[in-house]
Structure formats: structure tokens, C-alpha cells
Amino acid sequence: MITVAIGKGRMQESALALLARAGIRLNDGVNSRRLALMDETQQYRFIFVKPADVPVYVEHGIADCGIVGRDVLLESEADLLLPLDLGISRCRVVVAAADPQAMTNVQGMIRVATKYAQIARAHFGARGIPVEIIQLSGSVELAPALGLADMIVDLVETGVTLRENGLTVVEEIAESTGRLVVNRASYQLKSDEVGRLVKVLEAVIG
């Protein structure tokens, strides 16, 4: 048996749909409040945790595998194997601002509000643009309107939320999709089980 950590929320539904297509079905309702769920064949145990915690559980080997967005992986420094791009929950990490010319128009230090402090720091740092990073944990798109920041670095799926808040995409930093991640020790020590999961998922993502 191997343990698979799945990020709650956005990713969860598409991950479970993909697993079902690969013939891996959960025993219990997804809405169950139980901490861990087994699949019908008892080969896999699923745990549902906050997306940012998926790399943590997998790196420690508490979970052997995980399904998590690339945005979360870019933000974490976890040392993991990334065998499959599952192609689910496709979205982009972008820089957005009210003024499309913000990058050149802002005077002095640019203030950037984001949930992705590492990604933002790396993105601006690589080009030598000095920025002040303001770490938020949600509703980042409100920050420019309220005067907290000049721009935001955030995840965009359709762009509707950005438009509703009067923001436009200034730059795209990275594309993000759901990834299968694997613990380095599990990859060697449970190679048969991990290999089987990789194989069945690979078959359905085509």
C-alpha cells in the first residue's frame, strides 16, 4: 500500500476524476470528513491536506506520492521527484496590475502583494528589479484597489477575477498544471507500487 497526498480545493476534484479514469476509485464519499480514505482495492491510501502542505508530507515520506500544482512546487523548496505532468487544473502564475504599463510607470520601490513570495522574489530578483514583497494568504486581487500594493503575483485560471477587480495581466511568470510528485526514498524502496501508479496515470493522460 502507498499513501498519496492530494491538495484540497481546486486540485482535488480534477485529481479524483483523473484517478477514477485510471480505475482508482475511493471507497468512501469524497465529502467524508475522515482524514484518510482507501481506494476500493486497498492499494492506495489518500490523505487530503492543504496544497502547500503536499510537498511537506511527501518530502518527509509520510506520503509516498502527491498530486499538487506546479505553482505550489515552485514556491516550496522541497526536494522531490516529478515524474508526471498530469495536465489537470491548468492555470498561469502572472504579474497583474491596474495599469498595464505599471512596470515602467511606478515611481520608487514597487510593492507586490502575493501568496507566492518565493516565486515573486525570484522573478523580480532575476531581472534586478527591486520590489517590496507583501505576503498575503488570500484575496490578493483586492490589494491594489485598496492601496496595499502596486501589483500582485497570483494564480489565474480564466482571468475573470482579475477583470472584476480592474486588473490586467502585465507579465506571465509560469504555467502551472497538476503534477505527480514522489518521495525519493519511496521511489527506490516501493518501486513496484509507485511504478504501477505512474503507469496507470500515464496511460490516461495520454
Partner 1 sequence: MRYYIGAEARLRRTVEDVAMSVFQAWNYEEVITPSVDYYDLFEQGMGQREAQRGFRFTDNDGRLLALRPDVTSSVARMAATLLSERPRPLRFCYAAPVFRQQTQSHAEWRRENTQLGCELIGTGGKPADLEVLRLAAEILSRLNLQSHYCITINNVEIFNGVAAHLELEDRAREQLRRLIDTRETAELQRFLKDYPDAQAFSQPSQLTGKRNVIQAARNSITNTRSLAALDSLEDLWAEIESLGFENSFEIDLGDVSSLDYYTGLSLKIFVHGAGASVGRGGRYDGLTGSFGRAEPAVGFVLNLDALTEVLARNIGQER
The binder of partner 1 chosen from 74, 81, 142, 174 (CB under 8 A): 81
Give φ, ψ of 106 to 5 degrees: -65, 135
Least Å from the CB of residue 77 to partner 1: 4
Which stretch, 19-27, 80-88, 101-109, 144-152, contacts partner 1 (CB under 8 A)?
A: 80-88
Cell of 175: 504555467
Residue 16 within binding range of partner 1, rule CB under 8 A: no
Strand order in the sheet with 2-7: 36-38, 44-49, 2-7, 65-69, 178-182, 81-85
Pattern of binders to partner 1 over 168-187, x per CB under 8 A? Answer: --------------xxxx-x
Residues 57 to 76 in contact with partner 1, rule: CB under 8 A: 59-62, 76
Please tell me what DSSP assigns to residue 8: S
Beta-sheet pairing, 178-182 with 110-114: unpaired
**Subset of residues 85 to 104 that bind partner 1, contact rule: CB under 8 A:** 85
Does 195 help bind partner 1 (rule: CB under 8 A)?
Answer: yes
159 Rama sector, left if φ>0, alpha if ψ -120 to 50, beta otherwise: left
Cβ distance to partner 1 smaller for residue 108 or 206: 206
